[in-house]
Amino acid sequence: MVDKHDEDKTTAVVPEPSQRARDQLFRLAAEQVKDYALILLNLKGEIISWNSGAERITRYLAHEILGRHFSVLHPKEEIRSGAPQRELAITGSMGSVELQGWRLRKDGSRFWAAITINELRDTADERTGYVLILHDNTERRASEEAMAKSRTMLERLFETAPDAIVVVDGGGVIRKVNQQAEVTFGYMREELVGQRIELLIPKRFHKRHRQHLRNYFGDPRARKMGIGLELYGRHQNGSEIPVDIMLNPIEAQDATWVFAVIRDITIQKQGEAKIMELNLALRNQLEQLAATNRELESFSYSVSHDLRAPLRHIIGFVDLLSSKAGTGLDEKSRHYLDVISGAAKKMGLLIDDLLAFSRMGRSEMMKGWVDLGLLVREIVADLQGDLQEREIEWDIAPLPVVLGDAAMLRQVLINLIGNAVKFTRSRVAARIAVGAVDRENEQEIYVRDNGVGFDEAYANKLFGLFQRLHANEEFEGTGVGLAIVQRIVLRHGGRVWAEGGVGAGACFWFSLPKKTG
């Protein structure tokens, strides 16, 4: 027999906790969760439990919200659309629902919530309410949106880049291309993705490229491909395209891929070829010009030198004829002899100047530091002996020390100052100024006078050989002095120019670089 007491022990059942006890346990557990709002709703959707996480997220205190419908957390547009009722209805039919959406804080501000609603049932499997779980995902959503925008922007930049872009994996397989890659190589992207990169490389480079690919993935880093080499791509039609390629490693799918930016440099190559062609033609022309100049200088030197002997004979015989004939010649015959003698002497001056001009192009420059102020003072002192009857006001400003050939620069200043003295001869009070202007890369030196001047319309002729703007009867000269000035200054890497007006004087300028080779 079974003892009555034992029977009672065997059949005793532990009672289920009451609904109140379960609610109390839920509240105790809910208070341990700080990052989530854990909210109990009754069947009507009214809030009957509110944890500290809910207070932190929504800023409602428990006594402010208990008993209110949970739709207080919904934006007005969702309430109008009946969203709160739908959420409970779906939960009732499915037992649970997960969704995301905007919810309201106490101050009316919005936060993006991850939401889970589960139904609550008692021991008799009767629905007694709902558990609403909220998590504030506002920052995460903002971050995801920023990342999405960034990806969209990068994708747009990728597609609209002016250069072809080809992404290749470690096995040399094309993973992605942009629109310009289609234009450059003539393939549709569907024809490229999944193919080996050698499809876009001339066949003769395949073996070498495979080795380069292995080397690159052995030490992946941003660098230009084939430094010092001429690179070519292969168009779909078989033609070759000169290219520049920039490589960048990227991490993708737990592997390293290479991001290749490919620029078609066909136009650049054509331009370089044209420039080389023009440079070669220019070099040939310069060599021909230099040879011609050497021939002309040699010819002018030889002719000038060879003309001296017969010219001396002419002058000598004219002098002998004049002395022998004496007074026996009539006035017209003596005039003829004077004209012959004068012309011969002028020709002698021309020959001397032509020789000097030729020597300026042929002689070697002896560069050193030259004090231009000292040169000018010496030149003016030398001229004083011939200017006793002239009234000249000299204005000599401080002049720089420059790097150049002292003898040649002396000749420049002698010619310019000599011209100023000559062309102020008709002035009662002549004024001659010598000075300099300091520029960033050069020194500009001038000689200014108040002489007869010149018409600026003809200024470009002043420095030409044998070019003169005044008759020989007015002012003597051969038209070689300024040509010599220009030749010397050009050999120093400088330039010459002139300013003036008829009757308004003249100012002659020349520049010398501060750094000369």
pLDDT tens column, 178-210: 999 999 999 999 999 999 999 999 999 998 888
Q: What stretches of 52-168 adopt beta strand conformation (E)? A: 96-104, 110-121, 127-136, 164-168
Instruction: Round to whole Å and give the CA distance between 223 and 216.
Output: 10
CB 189 within 8 Å of CB 175:
no
CA atoms within 13 A on the CB side of 330: 1
Cβ-based neighbours of 212, under 8 Å, separated by 6 or more = 225, 226
pLDDT at position 355 is 65
Bridge-based pairing of strands 392-396 and 430-438 is: parallel
Angle at CA of residue 34, ends 33 and 40, nearest 5° = 60
Instruction: Round to whole Å and give the CA distance between 331 and 317.
Output: 19
Q: How many residues does the chain have?
A: 517
Cβ-based neighbours of 393, under 8 Å, separated by 6 or more = 429, 430, 431, 432
> Please, what's the b/e burial string for 467-487 (b: 16 or more CB within 10 A of its CB; e: otherwise)?
ebbeeeeebebbbbbbbbbbb
Instruction: Round to whole Å and give the CA distance between 133 and 35.
Output: 10
Instruction: Round to whole Å and give the CA distance between 287 and 284.
Output: 5
Instruction: Round to whole Å and give the CA distance between 3 and 511.
Output: 134
Instruction: Round to whole Å and give the CA distance between 202 and 477.
Output: 72
Instruction: Round to whole Å and give the CA distance between 196 and 194.
Output: 7
Angle at CA of residue 457, ends 455 and 458, nearest 5° = 75
CB 471 within 8 Å of CB 486:
no
Of 475, 473, 478, nearest in space to 452 by CA:
475
CB atoms within 10 A of CB 216: 19
pLDDT at position 40 is 93
Coarse DSSP helix, strand, coil percentages of the chain, rounded to the nearest 5 percent: 50, 25, 25
Instruction: Round to whole Å and give the CA distance between 167 and 212.
Output: 16
pLDDT at position 13 is 38
> Please, what's the b/e burial string for 242-271 (b: 16 or more CB within 10 A of its CB; e: otherwise)?
bbbbebebeeeeeeebbbbbbbbbeeeeee
Cβ-based neighbours of 172, under 8 Å, separated by 6 or more = 196, 197, 198, 210, 213
| In the block, residue with structure tokens 């231009």 | 372
pLDDT at position 67 is 94
CB 482 within 8 Å of CB 462:
yes
Q: Which two tokens stand for residue 500?
A: 């003036």
CB 84 within 8 Å of CB 70:
yes
pLDDT tens column, 43-90: 999 999 999 999 999 999 999 999 999 999 999 999 999 999 999 999
How high is the mean pLDDT in each 10-residue block of the chain (517 residues)? Answer: 44 44 52 78 94 93 94 94 93 92 94 94 89 92 85 85 92 92 93 94 90 86 81 93 91 85 90 89 85 66 66 77 73 79 72 64 76 92 80 91 89 89 86 92 92 78 62 56 86 89 88 77
Q: Which two tokens stand for residue 209?
A: 């490229």
pLDDT tens column, 436-458: 999 988 999 999 999 888 877 76
Q: Which two tokens stand for residue 480?
A: 């070689």
